[in-house]
Amino acid sequence: MCDKVLGLFEEITLNLSDVSYTIIFNACAQVSIDRAMKIGRKLLNQIHKNFLNDNKLLTSAINMLMRFGDVSSAENLFQMIQKKNIITYGTMMNGYNINNEPLKSLKLFEDMKRDDINADAIVLIILIGACARIEKSNKRDHAGLDKSLEKEEATSFEFVI
């Protein structure tokens, strides 16, 4: 289905609406192949300035970029969002987990609390996943990671629940 959406997009030239962009970004994120990456990035570069305040559209673009492993571009988009919400934060945190950067999920959770956004069940599950990834990396004993910081970050999460 996602492949068909991408095929249709390649065949026709339209002025896309915010909904169209969102659908195509989501399709690109699901497929995650070179073709989807090219289409997704091309679209992202063509977004009309009017859509740069659209949380749904930017959140779907963040999800797509994270699935492509482009954490830096996703972070840049995230910073552009003026009124972040629970879905935007959750998408970003999940992306960090997908890209094996769980400490960034925990740090983003702190930002979320500072913005007075309460965690929902989905965000709590994402955070539990981040803590599990930190623990897993501790067991593998990766060189160069500050274990004391990881333990401190993971334990501080316990007090939130």
Write out pLDDT tens, residues 133-158.
998 877 765 555 555 555 555 545 54
pLDDT value for 66: 95
Q: Could you write out the DSSP letters of every residue in 101-158?
A: -HHHHHHHHHHHHHTT----HHHHHHHHHHHHHHHHHHHHT-TT--HHHHHHHHHHHH
The answer to whether the CB of 72 falls within 8 A of the CB of 95 is no
C-alpha to C-alpha distance for 28 and 153, rounded to whole angstroms: 33
Residue ranges per structural domain of the chain? 1-82, 84-161
Q: What is the pLDDT of residues 100-145, one digit of tens each?
A: 999 999 999 999 999 999 999 999 999 999 999 998 877 765 555 5
Largest Cα span, the chain: 54
Q: What is the pLDDT of residues 53-86, one digit of tens each?
A: 788 889 999 999 999 999 999 999 999 998 999 9
The DSSP output letter for 52 is G
What burial letters (b/e) apply to 79-95, b meaning 16+ CB within 10 Å? eebeebeeebbbbbbbb
- Using 50, 70 and 90 to split pLDDT, how confident is the model at 40? confident
C-alpha to C-alpha distance for 10 and 45, rounded to whole angstroms: 16
Report the percentage of the chain scoring pLDDT > 70: 75
CA-based nearest residue to 16, from 45, 37, 38: 45
| CA distances from residue 1 to 57, 63, 153 in whole angstroms, order as listed | 20, 18, 40
The pTM for the full model equals 0.75
